[in-house]
A and B are shown apart, each in its own frame.
Chain A
Amino acid sequence: GNSVTQMEGPVTLSEEAFLTINCTYTATGYPSLFWYVQYPGEGLQLLLKATKADDKGSNKGFEATYRKETTSFHLEKGSVQVSDSAVYFCALRGATGGFKTIFGAGTRLFVKA
């Protein structure tokens, strides 16, 4: 079945460092791909999405490109801030998985001042 694998955390960075969180997926067909962010004590917020191969999703300085050839959707940000500290989830929806969203296990990010 469809699945998402993302790098284990926690990831600890200093402010203004470059961020990469790796995400790969397994799916039959071509799903839509998402990154969600969860701040402490809150629900999930959509950070960005891409619905077809080579699409680049971007929001708030974060970017991710839908790579069909490597089945990846890595999250990047050029300069992280303390306020970016949160848990980040890679997810997919569609293809043969129907309309449910399948999430990775999440990667916790700590940014130090």
Chain B
Amino acid sequence: DAGVTQSPTHLIKTRGQQVTLRCSPISGHKSVSWYQQVLGQGPQFIFQYYEKEERGRGNFPDRFSARQFPNYSSELNVNALLLGDSALYLCASSLVDSEYNEQFFGPGTRLTVL
């Protein structure tokens, strides 16, 4: 079975541009979460979606938005990119919306903002 997939693998943008990152969860998983991992740090929670509804949001500005589609895939959008948005963006899926369920992480999208 395929794991969590993310696209693109790498992305280079310039300041002020907009970017869309995509995530496909493991088949049957209904919960998708997004994390930002700046180099040398642990991942920071951005969003969680379950059954197409936003269930949680981290401490990120409104430039960050996301959505989940009927097939449970998800997109993360970042507007007006800043140099500080350069990071590895990780998507994680889990079967249901529970603290006990393991989250399975994708390989990430590495975003570089110049």
A58 at the binding interface (Cβ < 8 Å): no
* Interchain CB contact under 8 A, A103 and B42: yes
User: Which one of B40, B41, B43 lies within 8 Å of A44 (CB-CB)?
Assistant: B43
* Interchain CB contact under 8 A, B42 and A100: no
Closest beta carbon of chain A to B74's beta carbon, Å: 15
* Interchain CB contact under 8 A, A94 and B42: no
Number of interface residues of A (CB under 8 A): 25
Q: Which residues of A contact B92 (CB under 8 A)?
A: 44, 101
Q: Which residues of B contact A99 (CB under 8 A)?
A: 31, 33, 48, 55-56, 97-99
B108 at the binding interface (Cβ < 8 Å): yes
Q: Which residues of A contact B8 (CB under 8 A)?
A: none
* Interchain CB contact under 8 A, A105 and B41: yes
Q: Which residues of A contact B104 (CB under 8 A)?
A: 46
Name the CB-closest residue of A to B102.
A46
Give the docked Cα–Cα distance between A49 and B100 (Å). Answer: 9
How many A-B contacts are there with CB distance less than 8 Å? 64
* Interchain CB contact under 8 A, A101 and B107: no
Interface residues of A in 31-79 (CB under 8 A from B): 31-32, 36, 42-46, 49, 51
* Interchain CB contact under 8 A, B100 and A101: no
Beyond the given A99-B33, A102-B45, could you list 5 further A-B residue pairs with CB under 8 A, ordered by the A residue number? A31-B99, A32-B100, A44-B90, A99-B31, A101-B103
Residues in chain B within 8 A of chain A (CB atoms): 4, 31, 33, 35, 40-45, 48, 55-56, 58, 90, 92, 97-100, 102-108
